[in-house]
Structure 1
Amino acid sequence: MARDVIPILSFLSLLGARAGATNTENSNFNFVRHVRSLTPRADSEAVALHLPQADVSVPFGAKTPRRKSKRLALAALRGRDTSSSRSDTVVLDGSDSDFEYLTNVTIGGQKFSLSVDTGSSDTWVIQQGFSCFDLDGNPQSQDVCAFGSGGFNPNASKTFAPFPDVSFNITYTDGEVLLGPVGVDTVTIGGLSVEKQVVPIPTHAAYLGDGINSGIIGLSFPGGTTVFNTTDPLKASKANQIIYSPFFLSAVEQKQVKNPYFSIALDRDSFEQEENDTFDPNLGFLSFGGIAPVPVLKNSVTVPIQGFSTMTTQKGLPGSNLFFYTVDVDSYTFPGSDKVITANNSTVLDTGTTVNFFPSPVAAAYAAQFSPPAVVDPNTLLYTVACNATVPDFAVTIGGKTFPIDKRDQILPTGKDADNNTICITGTQDGGADQAGAVFILGDVFLHNVVTTFNPVDGEVTLTQRAPY
């Protein structure tokens, strides 16, 4: 998930050295998989049958060079210690090989570029005057955190109100930490406005930014929000978590959308853009209330989201026992895949992760099919491959429907070596052992090939094959 969120902050990386050890016993949820029994339904034509065009669509405004932390998170995620006057579709922007899809957001009348993330739940923006730290907790100048603005000024907002006696604190598996106060304010994306939305405005950040984004739009479930009923961040635990409605569910509750779903279409760059451009505009759409406005084919399926129950749930909030958009994968198909047997295919659909992370046997068998074969780099533990290698076919079957991945998505440039030669990795990477409780990721490499329509209220996801582009 974008940075693989740990829902409760353990706080060791930022303040632990000063404040003593945290009570790690209370630092994690007790996850139990909750399998929904809904039967997947094949949709012959999603737009005509049950997915209307969106009320609001905004373009992804840019693709920025993915933050250093995203690259650091790769190993951790693998388990190795059109707009109209009221547009319901916004444009998404993005960057070189590691994409971070961004769009413009207004909070309390102040404009920011935020990362769009279906793998986390909070919509937060850094606060003006914040303190910056490195990942070891040492104070740094603000420019080290590399946010894309000076931050949100609560005093400059006519609609801001503090959320008293609570705190926001979150840590990501790459070591990033954000903490601070929380407020409520009006949040606007495209033509969609939500009033009195809970917005964390951290004042302390150990963050490796990209110089463009100033925070995150979290589009996952209430169960993953990270606001706590304490002003002392060291006392944050599952026992005092405050579950609230993330931005999109607030829009549904306030009847700002006709239908309780949002849709994402992520465009791919050309290899040349990925290798050379630091900022790429107009790379898809985030749409509210209907399907994103891109050409699609008749290959479509709606599947239930698989949930996780925890000791911390709140009745009355849609999706309060769900954390991520997790679906069951039926099979992976590629040359030689008939020899690969996998036992666990619980997989998260995550716009915040570039590559696909699949079970180790799948990643290894697919890597061997490249010509020349992809090999594991001993330093990064990623599958690297010749940038001009021949790419084998690959498809993912979900709910009985098979979705092929374009070969252009399976080789990604990630930088230069000492001789200025381009280094490439495969789009399918090792997500760890295939065992009970494991969760894998369908990232941007897969999502470039489908329109994904998320329904957090009914607990469903619709995948629709995109027309070639």
Structure 2
Amino acid sequence: MVSAALSVLSFVAATTAEFTVVSHVSTAPRSIVPAVIPPAEFVVPITGKSPRRQTKKDALSALRSHASKNNTAVLAGADLDQEYLTDITIGGQTFTAIVDTGSSDTWLIKKGFNCFNLSSFPEPQATCGFGSDGFDTKASTTFQEFPNVSFNISYGDGEFLSGPVGFDTVSVGGLTVTKQEVGTPDFAAWNGDGVNSGLLGLAYSTITSVYNTTDPTKASSANHIPYDPFFVTAFKQGVVTNPYFSIALDRGALFVNTSTDPNLGYLAFGGMPPVALDKTAVTVPIQKYSAKTGDPSSAAGAEYIYYTIDVESYVFPGSTSVATANNNTIVDSGTTLNYVPDKVAKAYNAKFVPKATLDSDSGLYFVNCNATAPAFSVTLAGKSFPVDARDQILDAGTDDSGNVLCISGTQPGGADTAGTVFILGDVFLHNVVGTFNVQTNELTVTRRTKY
């Protein structure tokens, strides 16, 4: 197992700001005075990243169908530097986990798990590609089983995770909570990277994955049992003062030959991470979704699911020729690329020199690794957030002949219709700090200085 390096840095917490809850009621972004955010109480260094999973896209498209104070944890990267990782300790055992603002469960593969291929046939454990033998619930003196329920996620491409659920002491970057609900799947069909052993989900409880049944085939919305994700638990238990966490993701080298790339940013609990910022910032409301249609909605009964915001426009050479506004865009650290409306992606990728080409099999735009990327920025509530050109050309490995391949950082995400979910992923997040407020349901975006 290759574990992510965890370092701890100290920062002094400042006084929290007062916040006003703002509900989203229109398709146009409204400007809110940026929140005043102090330095973080806990900072987790990010140590790795891996490729955006096709299963994330499947899960999003399925929406319509329904320790010590003042610490910071560092993040790392794995698998072509396309997946952000950090260390997580559960029941005294430490593992490397994906940091994901686009999902909500904290889960670790259970020791002795059964591995399957995508056709549900048994395979050796190594086929699933986890980074360890798994979490040993029997070796934890604080683990408590949650009887007669199950953790269950299935995906459109055949991947799945299912198994028991329990409660245990969980620590990330010095932030420790007790009796956190966690999934401990012992059945898995998984295309792992050989580094991570689970996931730290930071989105809303609406999309947690515990069900009031022990039979995975009977898991449904009717027996869904939502629970508080890790950070919400921390805030409710009072171990973090402020109701928000921040993500600062550093870009790695274009070509990475090691299994992990250390020190690629921070996950900061309760405030801002220790990165250089400029004065451009905006605070925008998170959108709710209709439980009936799956579309963004402010109607009664609508629910918070993802960190979904309005994009006022995408700006790039020739962008005035296409409609670039969109009000159904998720800010997701678990997604490598930006996924924008098809027409926007087509117009933007045509501006590469030489221009990008769309591969019909993968649906991705490929670019020359030495191409010149056109300027690109995202407008949120009247403020511009440029994306560095270095983030628009990504290492995609090699072809069958050993030729190095690269893809564009901005890819087609579907037709610009109400039911389509678009994503601002790591390509965007490399250039900003995202601060997610789980109490006021707002996202503050702050531009980073060039690095």
Task: Quickly name the TM-score band, shorter chain normalised.
Answer: 0.7 to 0.9
Contact 1:36–1:307 under 8 Å retained in 2: no
Distance 1:236 1:56 in 2: 36
Residues 242-281 of structure 1: CA deviation (Å, up to 9, x unaligned): 01100000001101111000001000012233xx333100
Distance 1:310 1:75 in 2: 19
SS in 2 for 1:392: coil
Distance 1:419 1:222 in 2: 46
Residues 224-246 of structure 1: CA deviation (Å, up to 9, x unaligned): 11101111111111111101100
1:257 to 236, 240, 246: 240
**Paired position in structure 2 for 1:12:** none
- Tell me, which stretches of 5 or more residues in structure 2 are unaligned? 1-22, 293-300
Contact 1:75–1:381 under 8 Å retained in 2: no
What amino acid is aligned across from residue 447 of structure 1 in structure 2? Answer: L
Distance 2:130 2:367 in 1: 32
Q: What is the 5 A alignment of 1:447-466?
A: 447-466=429-448
**Paired position in structure 2 for 1:20:** none
Distance 1:139 1:453 in 2: 42
1:204 to 181, 187, 192: 187
Q: What is the 5 A alignment of 1:380-399?
A: 380-399=362-381
What amino acid is aligned across from residue 438 of structure 2 in structure 1? Answer: P
Residues 398-429 of structure 1: CA deviation (Å, up to 9, x unaligned): 11111000000001110112332211110000
Contact 1:58–1:190 under 8 Å retained in 2: yes
SS in 1 for 2:78: coil
**Paired position in structure 1 for 2:134:** 151
RMSD: 2.2
Distance 1:239 1:75 in 2: 24
Relative to structure 1, the CA distance from residue 432 to residue 78 in structure 2 (aligned partners, 3 Å threshold; closer, same or farther) is farther
**Paired position in structure 2 for 1:410:** 392
Q: What is the 5 A alignment of 1:234-273?
A: 234-273=217-256
Distance 2:339 2:138 in 1: 43
**Paired position in structure 1 for 2:278:** 297
- Tell me, which stretches of 5 or more residues in structure 1 are unaligned? 1-33, 312-318
In the TM superposition, residue 287 of structure 1 has moved relative to its aligned partner by: 0.5
Matched, 1:41 2:32: yes
Distance 1:294 1:304 in 2: 24
**Paired position in structure 1 for 2:351:** 369
Q: What is the 5 A alignment of 1:85-100?
A: 85-97=68-80, 99-100=82-83
Distance 1:288 1:309 in 2: 29
**Paired position in structure 1 for 2:291:** 310
SS in 2 for 1:93: strand
**Number of residues of Structure 1 aligned to a counterpart in Structure 2:** 416
Contact 1:36–1:304 under 8 Å retained in 2: no
Matched, 1:322 2:286: no
In the TM superposition, residue 75 of structure 1 has moved relative to its aligned partner by: 7.4
What amino acid is aligned across from residue 381 of structure 1 in structure 2? Answer: G
Distance 1:142 1:385 in 2: 36
**Paired position in structure 2 for 1:195:** 178
SS in 2 for 1:92: strand
Contact 2:314–2:325 under 8 Å retained in 1: no
The alignment's TM-score, normalised by the length of structure 1, stands at: 0.84
In the TM superposition, residue 320 of structure 1 has moved relative to its aligned partner by: 9.2
What amino acid is aligned across from residue 40 of structure 1 in structure 2? Answer: S
What amino acid is aligned across from residue 42 of structure 2 in structure 1? Answer: V
Matched, 1:285 2:266: yes
**Paired position in structure 2 for 1:125:** 108
In the TM superposition, residue 155 of structure 1 has moved relative to its aligned partner by: 1.2
SS in 2 for 1:436: coil
Distance 1:77 1:238 in 2: 14
In the TM superposition, residue 154 of structure 1 has moved relative to its aligned partner by: 1.3
Relative to structure 1, the CA distance from residue 259 to residue 126 in structure 2 (aligned partners, 3 Å threshold; closer, same or farther) is same
In the TM superposition, residue 96 of structure 1 has moved relative to its aligned partner by: 4.8
Distance 1:75 1:260 in 2: 28
Residues 301-332 of structure 1: CA deviation (Å, up to 9, x unaligned): 00000011427xxxxxxx99211000000001
In the TM superposition, residue 219 of structure 1 has moved relative to its aligned partner by: 0.3
In the TM superposition, residue 87 of structure 1 has moved relative to its aligned partner by: 4.8
In the TM superposition, residue 349 of structure 1 has moved relative to its aligned partner by: 0.3
Distance 1:242 1:96 in 2: 33
What amino acid is aligned across from residue 410 of structure 1 in structure 2? Answer: Q
Contact 1:88–1:289 under 8 Å retained in 2: no
Relative to structure 1, the CA distance from residue 460 to residue 204 in structure 2 (aligned partners, 3 Å threshold; closer, same or farther) is same
Contact 2:81–2:260 under 8 Å retained in 1: no
Contact 1:121–1:222 under 8 Å retained in 2: yes
Distance 1:57 1:368 in 2: 40
Distance 1:231 1:96 in 2: 34
The alignment's TM-score, normalised by the length of structure 2, stands at: 0.88
In the TM superposition, residue 379 of structure 1 has moved relative to its aligned partner by: 2.1
Contact 1:291–1:453 under 8 Å retained in 2: yes
SS in 2 for 1:409: helix
Residues 33-90 of structure 1: CA deviation (Å, up to 9, x unaligned): x9456943243xx6xxx10000000101234x54xxx45458758979xxx9545321
Contact 2:312–2:326 under 8 Å retained in 1: no
